[in-house]
Structure 1
Amino acid sequence: MEEAFHELTDRVRAELRSPDDLAAYERLLGLARKNTPAGREELARVLVAVERPLWAREIAAYVLGCAGDRRAFETLVLLLNYREPVRCATAAHALGRLGDPRTARAAAALATNPLRTAYALHPVRLLAELRAPQSVPALIATLDRLLTPNNPYWRVALACVEGLGALGDRRAVPTLTAATAHPRLAAAAAASLARLGVHEDEEQNGGT
């Protein structure tokens, strides 16, 4: 987790506003680096402590998640759906390593929620990484919904296209074929179809 952890801690350091913040930050980093059972217990208490800043909960949840400690799950899912993409990315990284069976269901619920499409990029990418039973249906449903003209969430749609290609499930063929008609998605959709073994003549005949 080293590179991603350094990116997280560098970002959080810029959010500190007082000497007390700095002291709390350095204590959290010390607990993370020790990686002991007692340290993880203290990090878990940070997740539920009253009035702890978000950055402290983020560090604690990230460290616990990467260590496979399921007490981090609720906080990481909250961050996966956060308004700041950089926090969503951090949460997705930790959730991908947590090993909690609830993760795929939570990511699928976030990805398919039409009211949260603006924050769906990292849940979509996480679903592709997890390769869970929920992954393909959720990515198909999300992409189907986004295949409308001038949709502002084309980056989310593109992540769906790429994820479906990586997952290699031919249930995605009709939706990927439809995506080839969209200029921003066409190249990636064709590449994903090729990964699924669908050739151009099959696309023209409806993927049969």
Structure 2
Amino acid sequence: MNDVLERLRAEAGPSPAYEELLGAGPDGLAAALTSAGHPLWARELAAYRLGLAGDRRAFEPLVLLLNHRDPPRCAAAAEALAVLDDPRTARAAAALATNPLRTAYALQSVRLLTALRAPESAPALRATLARLLSPNDPYWRVALACVEGLGALADPDAREVLTRAQSDPRLAVAATAALRALDT
């Protein structure tokens, strides 16, 4: 949490609005999400704090941040969504992880699906991994997160895709470990 707050403080610069949002209550934070004219750092701070507090008004802004091109924003959103415990989170993360047009931003969605252990998690990870097993796919880190997630979930239906993943040198060790997890 401190890393997120420090990053956002740096983005805000000498703005008194940062301190104001840091001290705001739930209604003040929600207002920052719905009012026009707030910079991205302010919306992220409001959504992050609301999410960590379990306030479901943060759901939509956090999902948008989960799909952001900036990895630290995605990671902060995933952290808050995991705490938020909204039943829509797994479906949203699965939709983001499996969208072939958003693969470059799918790493945190994949990790969130693993952490959630929801019914949507393993099928989304299998589908994403299967799509990323083409030769020279540039998103091998997302594929690796899928492999690790399927191992953590010990999904028996993942055996075929994990066996295929063993042929990629970047995924082989993790895929072998994930396959072992299926047998324990």
TM-score (norm 2): 0.98
- 2:68 alignment partner in structure 1: 82
- Paired letter, 2:179: L
Give how far 1:8 is off: 1.2
Deviations 1:173-192 (A, max 9, x none): 11001100110000000000
Gapped runs of 5+ residues in structure 1?
Answer: 32-38, 199-208
Q: RMSD value over aligned CA atoms?
A: 1.0
Higher relative contact order (CA 8 A, sep 6+): 2
Give how far 1:16 is off: 2.4
Distance 2:12 2:119 in 1: 41
1:56 counterpart = 2:42: yes
1:82 counterpart SS class: coil
Distance 2:64 2:146 in 1: 21
- Partner of residue 92 from structure 2, selected from 97, 106, 127: 106
- Partner of residue 10 from structure 1, selected from 6, 11, 21: 6
1:26 counterpart = 2:19: yes
Q: After the TM superposition, which residues 103-182 of structure 1 pair with which residues of structure 2 at under 5 Å, given as runs?
A: 103-182=89-168
Query: Larger Cα Rg: Structure 1 or Structure 2?
Result: 1
Distance 1:12 1:44 in 2: 17
Deviations 1:4-52 (A, max 9, x none): 2x111211122125x5xx2100111122xxxxxxx11111111101010
1:14 counterpart SS class: helix
- 1:197 alignment partner in structure 2: 183
Count how many residue pairs are aligned between Structure 1 and Structure 2: 184
Give how far 1:75 is off: 0.2
The runs of at least 4 consecutive aligned structure 1 residues that moved more than 6 Å come to: none
- Paired letter, 2:127: A
- Paired letter, 2:123: P
Deviations 1:133-164 (A, max 9, x none): 10000000000000011110000000000000
- Paired letter, 1:156: V
2:95 counterpart SS class: helix
Gapped runs of 5+ residues in structure 2?
Answer: none
